[in-house]
Structure formats: C-alpha cells, structure tokens
C-alpha cells in the first residue's frame, strides 16, 4: 500500500475477527489500533467452546502464525457428539451436526487470549467505547467516543458485533429476532460433583431434541459443562409465561414444565445447575446482508453477517479478519484492498448465512413445519 504516511487503521472491537486482523497486520509491519469498550480482557465471561474448522478458522490461525500455539490448547476429543432420545436418555443411531473431521474445540476465552497475547503491547485500547462514525469527505473517517473524544482514521473496521455502532455508516439493516431463544446455564467441577451427567456428555457435546425444543450440553475446559436449553417462542416469552428472568426458581419451574416427560437424567442440569439462567434470544441480520462499497470503512464478523450460533460465526469472523489484513498488505491502496476483501467476504457470508439458517431450523424446527 503506497501512502505518504502510514495509514491510520482503526479496528472497532477486540473480537476474534478484529484481533485476527490486527495480528496479521502487525506480522507484516503495519500499524493498527483496536478500540474496545470493555475495560479489560477479563471484564466478562467469553462464552463456551468453539469448533475451529480447517477451511476457515484454522486457515485464519495459519495466516496469523498462531496455528501451532492453537493446537497446544485445542481439544480434538471435543469434536464428539452424542445424540440422545429425550424420553429415555439412550443413544440414538444418528450423528450430530456435520463438520470437518478435523475441527478441534477450544474455549472462546482461550482463543481470544491467544490472539491478544500475540499483539504488540498497547494495540488494544480498553475502555474506549465508539458511538458512531462520521465521514470527513476525503475518504477518511472520524470516530466518536462516548467520553466526547474523537479518533480519525484512514480505514475504520467495524468488528464490534451484533449491535455494531459502525454498521449504520454502511447499511440500514438491524438484527431481528429469529424466533429461537437459548437459555444458558452450566455445571462446575462436573466430573466430581455431577459424574453421571458428565459421563452422559462425554468429551464433546450432548444433544437431545423433541419438537421445537432442544437441550445441548457442551464440555468446556477446567471441568465445566455449559448447557443451553433452546426453544421457539416469542421474544418476550417470559412476559406471557409470567416468569421473572432474574428469579432462578421461576425460570427453573417454567423450563421443567416445558420439558415435562424428558428423562430425569437430562433434567438433572435444570435442577442442580450452578448459578442462574441467562436468557439469550437469537438475533440475525437479513440474509444476504450486503452494502454498496464506501471508501475508508468496512465490516467483519457479526457486524457484517450475524448468523444463528450453529458453529460457523467465529470461524468466519477470523477468516474475514485475516482476508482483510492480507488485502491491506498486498493491494496498492486502502480502497483497492477493501474492495478485494468485500468481493470475497460478501458472497461467502451470504452462502454461509443460508446454511446457518437451515441448520437452526433443523435443530429447532418451526412450529408450523
């Protein structure tokens, strides 16, 4: 990239995709800043386990020269799926969701830590909340922050997730409720405190489905099993049900009623979980989500293509990030680089969004199907 000065590249959001992009840029000697609204890397839990696919997430980690370090943390045994009959908790002669034969699992927090540790000190500026982006008329942009300060950039990369503050500069699209809600809970020290349930889950993921509801239990590292109860319902299902989301006993009673008739060994986690329940309605962007190219600004990851959480989003986000960084390193101008990147990412994400929508319907069928 030829420029009279080093391009000011600002990535908004220390997401997996944003960090992967920053890593590849720094590998090639390019300057980059990441603005993150969270106050530190440990400000909140980072979620469950991710299966990292060979053609997307692993390809991105290879581009970031982090593949070998990833392999030391990954759990190949975590690829195992067990599908159980909900009424009897016996194994069914079917396989779980299709994925690559080589898609080892890793905790999201471990993967994010790997990427963060690979960056130069000070790359991520914590506690910097971007509220919007304004064009300056010459292809550059001014970022507005919630403390009243601003940051100017030759390229703004929106890597700030589902409710991106950068997306409105490119698109009027907003996430919509998919009709599916996940309720999250979990078990700590599962092999010691819940050995029977831990044996049912095994090393990977347990799945039981009936009608338009499902229970997934996913082995994480450090003896934790993360559990998701999924069902189709209105977004404000709790109001219709008279349930207070901050009342654990109220949520538990409702879920036990909803899953009445399921085997007690599966319901164990609803009766004996650690902590409360977290309500996670699933939002998606319209598919395909596209926009007309605008100089000096682009999106990646969930900011660009929010999809159902069926195992592809993190992989695509990291590939987005490394593809964008590669284009910025190899093309002659920022604008050429962004055009090349968007020509790869937009059709790829459109196809992936269609597949993810179908996967969610397969997992939690619409009630009229």
What pLDDT band is residue 356 in, cutting at 50, 70 and 90? very high
CB 232 within 8 A of CB 304: no
What pLDDT band is residue 3 in, cutting at 50, 70 and 90? very low
pLDDT at 1: 54
From residue 125, how far is each of 22, 195, 253, 282, 301 by CA, in Å? 13, 42, 43, 29, 20
What pLDDT band is residue 98 in, cutting at 50, 70 and 90? low
Residue 367 CB partners (closer than 8 Å, separation 6+): 211, 212, 232
Classified as helix, coil or strand, 205 is strand
The mean pLDDT of 162-176, rounded to a whole number, is 98
Domain boundaries, the chain: 9-77+100-175+285-363, 177-283
pTM: 0.94
Helices (H) and strands (E) in the chain, counts: 12, 16
**How does DSSP assign 235-261, residue by residue?**
TTHHHHHT--TT-HHHHHHHHHHHTTT
What pLDDT band is residue 184 in, cutting at 50, 70 and 90? very high
Backbone phi, psi, residue 164, to 5°: -50, 135
Q: How does pLDDT run across 234-265, given as a tens digit for each residue?
A: 999 999 999 999 999 999 999 999 999 999 99
Question: What proportion of the chain, given as a percentage, has pLDDT over 90?
Answer: 89
One fold for both 9-77+100-175+285-363 and 177-283? no
Q: Which CATH architecture has domain 177-283?
A: 2-Layer Sandwich (3.30)
CB 210 within 8 A of CB 229: no
pLDDT at 2: 43
Q: Which CATH architecture has domain 9-77+100-175+285-363?
A: 3-Layer(bba) Sandwich (3.50)
d(CA 155, CA 152): 9
pLDDT at 311: 81
């Amino acid at each position: 990239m030829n420029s009279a000065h080093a391009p000011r590249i600002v990535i908004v959001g220390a997401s997996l995709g944003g960090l992967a992009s920053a890593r590849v840029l720094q590998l090639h000697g390019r300057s980059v800043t990441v603005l993150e609204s969270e106050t530190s890397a440990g400000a909140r839990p980072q979620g469950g386990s991710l299966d990292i696919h060979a053609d997307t997430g692993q390809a991105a980690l290879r581009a970031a020269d982090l593949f070998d370090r990833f392999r030391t943390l990954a759990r190949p045994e975590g690829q195992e799926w067990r599908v159980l009959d909900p009424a009897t908790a016996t194994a069914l002669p079917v396989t779980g969701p299709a994925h690559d034969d080589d898609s080892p699992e890793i905790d999201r927090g471990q993967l994010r830590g790997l990427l963060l540790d690979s960056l130069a000190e000070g790359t991520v500026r914590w506690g910097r909340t971007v509220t919007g982006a304004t064009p300056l008329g010459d292809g550059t942009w001014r970022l507005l922050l919630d403390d009243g300060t601003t940051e100017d950039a030759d390229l703004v990369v929106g890597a700030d997730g589902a409710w991106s503050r950068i997306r409105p500069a490119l698109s009027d699209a907003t996430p919509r409720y998919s009709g599916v809600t996940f309720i999250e809970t979990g078990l700590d020290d599962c092999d010691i405190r819940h050995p029977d349930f831990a044996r049912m889950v095994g090393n990977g993921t347990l799945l039981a489905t009936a009608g338009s509801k499902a229970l997934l239990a996913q082995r994480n590292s450090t003896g934790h099993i993360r559990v998701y109860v999924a069902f189709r319902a209105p977004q404000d299902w709790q109001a219709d049900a008279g349930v207070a989301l901050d009342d654990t006993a109220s949520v538990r009673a409702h879920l036990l009623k909803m899953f009445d008739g399921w085997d007690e060994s599966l319901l164990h986690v609803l009766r004996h979980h650690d902590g409360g329940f977290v309500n996670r309605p699933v939002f998606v962007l319209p598919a395909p989500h596209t926009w007309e190219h605008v100089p000096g600004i682009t999106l990646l990851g969930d900011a660009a293509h929010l999809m159902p959480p069926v195992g592809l989003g993190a992989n695509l986000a990291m590939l987005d990030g490394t593809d964008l960084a590669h284009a910025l390193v190899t093309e002659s101008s920022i604008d050429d680089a962004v055009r090349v990147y968007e020509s790869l990412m937009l059709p790829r994400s459109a196809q992936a969004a269609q597949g993810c929508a179908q996967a969610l319907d397969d997992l939690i069928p619409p009630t009229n199907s």
